[in-house]
Amino acid sequence: MQVEAEKFQHQLKAELQNILSYWREYSVDKMHGGFVGKRDHFNNLIEKSNKGVILNTRLLWSFSAACNFNNDPELKVLADRAYNYLEANFYDPSNKGFFWEIDYLGNTVNTRKQIYAQAFSIYSYAEYYKLSGEENAKEKALQTFGLVEKHARDLVDNGYLEAFQADWKPIEDMRLSAKDQNAPKTMNTHLHILEAYTALLQITGDIRVKEALENLINLFLSIFLNNKTGHFGLFFNEKWALQNAVISYGHDIEAAWLLIDAAKTSGNSLLITETTEAAILVADTFLKEAYVKNKGIINEKNEETGETDLDRHWWPQVEAMLGLQYAFNISGDKKYQAAILDIWDFTQNNLIDRQNGEWFFRIDQANKPYIQEDKLSMWKAPYHNSRALMMLLKEKR
């Protein structure tokens, strides 16, 4: 068992380096500044592609976190580049907060203030502050927190609204992406606000952030989580009526460990107990429904229609490994460890692109990659896989 554990750690370490090497080599936009907007499945650069704030904040977080992890000076250079580019091109000096999208030259093309994007800005700026000690990064993260609390927090029914215009006025279409439902409150956005506020509390100790974070944890435990099924609801109206019956397995297991981290950061012993109990419930449901031995993690299911998406996306595989590691740490039950190793074997054999680098976006039931999906894009960044590998490696430090 010791030999297998050492082999696992060695593989994680090697793949983390592969991921970081890919993004070092292929993400930098040497012609127009910052980072390129898109590479296709075969790693071809799609020239003059627009650049999204989600990719750029995730790059800032990934380079900063990786440098904090292994103290690689080359990663510090890239983190600085990401931070400076966000400051110069995505930050709104007039109304504050961060724009959604710019063109390849840095001109703003979509000025909407998506709260999901503000959350990733806070998250990445907090991580960059841990690396650099740059006071402006901490100040901007706190400023953005204040904007989210002022404009997006629903003081009547609780929770956070999804999106606004550039000047923070209401917007009709709040969708995060074309495939999402136009709902005013979503689990996905709340999850990443939770993630961001956890990081912000770690660098500030601010009592306002602590209150908001504890409120979010309670929302997840009391509204988003269905204690009968072990799933989190995804789309809600302003009064918290659930809008559909779709289950996202990746978000379920990601939330399980993020809630524990949030509770531990808050220092609230009751919330620590409640989130650890919730994590076991979610992890056990996840193993029964999402995990298929030798075949990884399926994507999602509609509980009302029974329709199931059996594609294997890259990011739920590693979120599963991390969430199940937390469940093992709580319970000591080796079924979680066995699943982690099996999911990792599947990922290595089927989702890592040995020819063109990085990971496939998704594969079908026959383990065949979808060639229309991008290797690098607004929604394809090193954040999920690098984070999970770093955190799993830290377990053995």
Q: Quick: pLDDT tens for 243-265.
A: 999 999 999 999 999 999 999 99
pLDDT, residue 232, reads 98
3-class secondary structure, 127? helix
Instruction: Find the helix or strand (DSSP H, E) in which 235 lies.
Output: strand 235-236
- Which one-letter amino acid corresponds to residue 339? A
Beta-carbon-side half-sphere exposure of residue 24 (alpha carbons within 13 Å): 16
Question: Structural domains in the chain?
Answer: 2-394 (1.50.10.10)
On whether the CB atoms of residues 92 and 40 are closer than 8 A, the answer is: no
Find where tokens 């409640």 sit. Answer: 274
The residue assigned the tokens 């299911």 is 301
CA atoms within 13 A on the CB side of 373: 20
Q: Which two tokens stand for residue 350?
A: 């089927």
- How far does CA 339 lie from the centroid of its chain? 22
The answer to whether 259 and 278 are in contact (CB under 8 A) is yes
Q: How far apart, in whole angstroms, are the C-alpha atoms of residue 89 and residue 87?
A: 6
For the chain, 397 residues long, give each residue's pLDDT as a single digit of tens. Answer: 565 888 999 999 999 999 999 999 999 999 999 999 999 999 999 999 999 999 999 999 999 999 999 999 999 999 999 999 999 999 999 999 999 999 999 999 999 999 999 999 999 999 999 999 999 999 999 999 999 999 999 999 999 999 999 999 988 887 777 777 789 999 999 999 999 999 999 999 999 999 999 999 999 999 999 999 999 999 999 999 999 999 999 999 999 999 999 999 999 999 999 999 999 999 999 999 999 999 999 999 999 999 999 999 999 999 999 999 999 999 999 999 999 999 999 999 999 999 999 999 999 999 999 999 999 999 999 999 999 999 999 976 5
pLDDT the model gives residue 109: 97
> What is the enclosing helix (H) or strand (E) of 186?
strand 185-186
Please, are residues 277 and 330 in contact by the beta-carbon 8 Å criterion?
no
At residue 366, the pLDDT reads 97
| 188, two tokens | 């996905």
* Cα separations in angstroms, 55 against 52, 167, 219, 266, 347: 6, 23, 28, 28, 23
Task: Give the pLDDT confidence score for residue 311 in this predicted structure.
Answer: 98
Please report which residue ranges of 245-289 form alpha helices under DSSP H: 249-266, 269-289
Distance CA 49, CA 338 (A): 42
Q: What are phi and psi of 108, to 5 degrees?
A: -70, 130
Per-residue pLDDT, 21? 98
